[in-house]
Structures are given as C-alpha cells and as structure tokens.
C-alpha cells in the first residue's frame, strides 16, 4: 500500500464490543520519528512488519509496509526502538458493511481507546456508529508516533477521556 486514507475517532462507550469479529495484540515501536516520516516496527502474533509513513497532517498519507522476520522485529523492538513502545489490542468491528479498527491501548497509553476506518477516498461516505465520539483525524496528539514521545498518561487533564 502506498497511500493510506484514514479517519480516527475517540470512542464514546463500550457498545462496540458486541460487534467484535476478531482481535489481535500489537506491539510496535519507532526506529525514527522525524519531521517528514516515521519508521515503525510492528509485531502481531507470528507476523512482523516494517512501515514507513509520511508525517504530513490530514487524512491521506503515504505508507509503505514490508514483512520482517519476527525474530528480527522482536530484537529491533527490544534494542533499537524509541521508548515507550506502543502496546495495544486491536479489535475488528463490522458496522454497516464497513470495517473499523478499535485500538485499546495499554502501558504508558492505557486509558486511550481510538477507532479508525480506512477509506478508498477522502470523500467516501460511512455510517457513524453510535459508540463513536469526537473525530481526531487532524489532531497529531493521537498519532501513534506522537504517543511515543508524549504518552497519554502524561497528558494534562487527560484530554482524550
């Protein structure tokens, strides 16, 4: 995938849990988090990926992903990545024929729950589930790359609550 079009929202309540079709535990870290792009390592089960993602604001960003040997990825996470690592459980939720990813964060970002939907076009319509809260697509604080440098637990008054 060379382009990602994604909208991101806070989650209002737990009603999404009734529609979960699958879940996976993710552990990810950033090898670099620069002005123009971030370079991320992600491990989920026996799969691992290296991702390079543009840091521009907005709904559409450039993203390249490449498979990694899981043992190499684990070592990168342990030895090379910025701290803290991003730890979360990703829940796949189907709503109105579309796939949502609901991320429940752990570790230094515990308490944060975000929902994302990937679209084919910025103007693609979608039905908002009742459990969806405020849109934060343009708020860089909610980017995973930012949560490494500014973990949710350190936010004043926990703005995302």
Q: Is residue 30 annotated as a catalytic residue, yes or no?
A: yes
pLDDT for res 1: 54
Average pLDDT, the chain: 94
Confidence of residue 81 (pLDDT cuts 50, 70, 90): very high
Report pLDDT for 159: 54
Q: What is the DSSP letter of 67?
A: E
CA pair distance 5, 115, nearest whole angstrom: 14
C-alpha to C-alpha distance for 6 and 122, rounded to whole angstroms: 8
- When pLDDT is averaged across residues 24-39 and rounded to a whole number, the result is 95
- Name the CATH superfamily for 3-158: Hypothetical Protein Pfu-838710-001 (2.40.320.10)
Give the whole-angstrom CA distance, residue 136 versus residue 7: 8
Calculate the CA dihedral of residues 60, 139, 26, 20 and round it to 10 degrees.
-80
Q: Which one is catalytic: 30, 142, 143, 152?
A: 30
Provide CB contacts within 8 A for 40, sequence distance 6+.
28, 29, 30, 31, 50, 51, 52, 53, 144, 145
Q: Across-strand partners of 46?
A: none
pLDDT-derived band at 56, boundaries 50, 70, 90: confident
Q: Where are the domains of the chain?
A: 3-158
Is the pLDDT reported for residue 157 higher than 80? no
């Amino acid at each position: 995938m060379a382009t990602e079009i994604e909208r991101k929202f806070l989650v209002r309540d737990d009603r999404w849990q009734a529609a979960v079709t699958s879940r996976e535990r993710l552990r990810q870290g950033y090898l670099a988090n620069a002005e123009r792009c971030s370079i991320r390592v992600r491990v989920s089960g026996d799969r691992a990926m290296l991702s390079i993602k543009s840091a521009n604001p907005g709904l559409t960003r450039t993203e390249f992903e490449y498979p990694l040997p899981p043992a190499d990825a684990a070592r990168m996470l342990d030895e090379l990545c910025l701290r803290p690592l991003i730890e979360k459980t990703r829940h796949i939720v189907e709503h109105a024929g579309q796939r949502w990813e609901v991320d429940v964060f752990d570790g230094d970002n515990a308490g944060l729950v975000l929902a994302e939907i990937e679209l084919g076009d910025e103007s693609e319509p979608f039905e908002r589930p009742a459990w969806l809260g405020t849109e934060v697509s343009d708020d860089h604080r909610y980017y995973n790359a930012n949560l490494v440098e500014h973990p949710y637990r350190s936010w004043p008054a926990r703005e995302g609550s």
